Amino acid sequence: MMGINTRASFEVVIVGAGPAGLIIALMLAQKGMSATVLEKSTEIDRNPRACFYSSPAIHELRRAGLMEDIMKRAFVPDGATWRYLGGEKNMEKICTVHAHNPPGAETMISLPLDELLPLMAEHLSRYPSAKVLLSHQVVSIGQNENKAWVDVRTPDGDKRFEADYIVGCDGANSKVRRELFGDNFPGFTWDKQIVATNVYWPKFKDYNWTSSTFMIHPEHFPMIAQIARDGLLRITYGEEGGLTREQMRERQPWKYKQFVPGAPEPDEYRIVNFSPYRVHQRTKGRETVDSIPVVNGMSDKFDSGGMGLMGGLVDAGNLFDCLYGIATGQADDSILEKYSEIRIRKYKDIIDPVSSGNIQRLWDPSPETIKADTFFQAIQLAEKDEEFADQMAKVSIQDYSVNLSEKEITVRYLSTY
């Protein structure tokens, strides 16, 4: 612990066993602090969700000691291409950005959450001060000047867990957030229905496309991306509103034929996951109330740029820094207000506009819009200008210094570590 002593008793309860909750617990446990993760589900979430990690998220995964094991499993993308869909330019390339992933200094990797979460849980199980409790549903929270607590419904009856801090990492429908702030969740839900599928389609490699492809179309706006070494693809697309899950499932073969190259028949691929989602663009007006900080990332269900997952992991790493500072006497509770202030600013200045641009970019195929898009302009220039391409590789389009500035976060520390 670098010569710094933690308080004799410092306990944290984390609500939600997603990536943010587990990485905070892991970082705390590695410092010898008590971390209890409460998860309402009977198992770790296995729905097809975000799976790409860019530089800021990789930084936090590396800090948590996970990257060595992650890289034994992860798929390393070779790049991303944007294409037209439909009309005279059907599937014609607009631009391509090539990945910059030197071994040990990767800037973009892919590992589905249903592989990352068990890996995180396995690492967490190595530390006696940490535990994950499944089938533990939080029903209420509270705090006073001495402690915070959660009341929990379990298969063995109702229980109360007390701690120095309660951390909410329970997603877009966060019970912790609603207990603290009510139903007010500033922002909006995009008027788009999304379907995410995980699928094996062996012929994908025959087309020599980059590992990720985005297609611009007002109705379908699909993404086709390899996400695992064994060839597993993530194919997401837009659907009509008002359909039931069963109706969307029935339409899936027709949908694939509209944008998957070669218009494959159902017997040519194997879908292993099918999940409809809505797109949320929301953040809380505050991130903490006294001893109860909340980490929710972008609270998104689909994000073509991976900003939600990245934001959640970065938030988690930064919150760990704050809690560690408090536990070691380098900071007081006011550091959490600073965390809240900076995190909200980063959301408004970076995550919200970048993620919105990633989504909206896929909806308008008009030549004028595409020509005027500064994102496409930058990538097209990089394809022609090697020096500019090198600059882009060093400063990732998505990096934007999303990690909280060390100076900003430690300014409230009594000393630095």
**139 sits in which H/E element:** strand 137-143
Q: Is residue 404's pLDDT more than 60?
A: no
Burial label for 357, CB within 10 Å (0-12, 13-18, 19+), is: middle
Q: Give the range with max mean pLDDT: 16-25, 141-150, 335-344.
A: 16-25
List residues bridging with 271 in a β-sheet. 199
Instruction: Name every residue whose Cβ is closer than 8 Å to that of residue 102 and which is 6 or more positions away in sequence.
Output: none
Q: Give the range with max mean pLDDT: 24-33, 83-92, 106-115.
A: 24-33
Burial label for 137, CB within 10 Å (0-12, 13-18, 19+), is: middle
Q: Are strands 165-168 and 11-15 parallel, antiparallel or unpaired?
A: parallel
Domains and CATH numbers, the chain: 11-77+107-187+283-359+397-410 (3.50.50.60)
Cα–Cα distance, 245 to 301 (Å, whole number): 16
CA-CA-CA-CA torsion sign (251, 253, 255, 257): negative
Q: Is residue 399's pLDDT more than 50?
A: no
Residue of 180, 255, 248 whose CA lies nearest to 222: 255
**Residue 348's pLDDT is what?**
74
For the entire predicted model, the pTM comes to: 0.83
**Residue 67's pLDDT is what?**
97
Q: Residue range 397-407: average pLDDT?
A: 39
Cα–Cα distance, 343 to 294 (Å, whole number): 11
Q: Is residue 135's pLDDT more than 50?
A: yes
Cα–Cα distance, 343 to 403 (Å, whole number): 9
Q: Is residue 331's pLDDT more than 60?
A: yes
Q: Is residue 298's pLDDT more than 70?
A: no
Instruction: Name every residue whose Cβ is closer than 8 Å to that of residue 183 and which is 6 or more positions away in sequence.
Output: none
Return the minimum-mean-pLDDT range out of 187-196, 203-212, 275-284.
275-284
Residue range 62-110, pLDDT digits in tens: 999 999 999 999 999 999 999 999 888 899 999 998 888 888 888 899 9
**Residue 177's pLDDT is what?**
65
Phi-psi region of 221 (alpha: psi -120 to 50; beta: other; left: phi over 0): left
**Residue 333's pLDDT is what?**
87
Q: Is residue 350's pLDDT more than 60?
A: yes
Residue 260 structure tokens: 């998957």
**166 sits in which H/E element:** strand 165-168
Q: Is residue 179's pLDDT more than 80?
A: no
Q: Is residue 60's pLDDT more than 90?
A: yes
Coil, helix or strand at residue 148:
strand
**Residue 187's pLDDT is what?**
61
Confidence of residue 299 (pLDDT cuts 50, 70, 90): very low
Provide the mean pLDDT of the chain.
Answer: 82
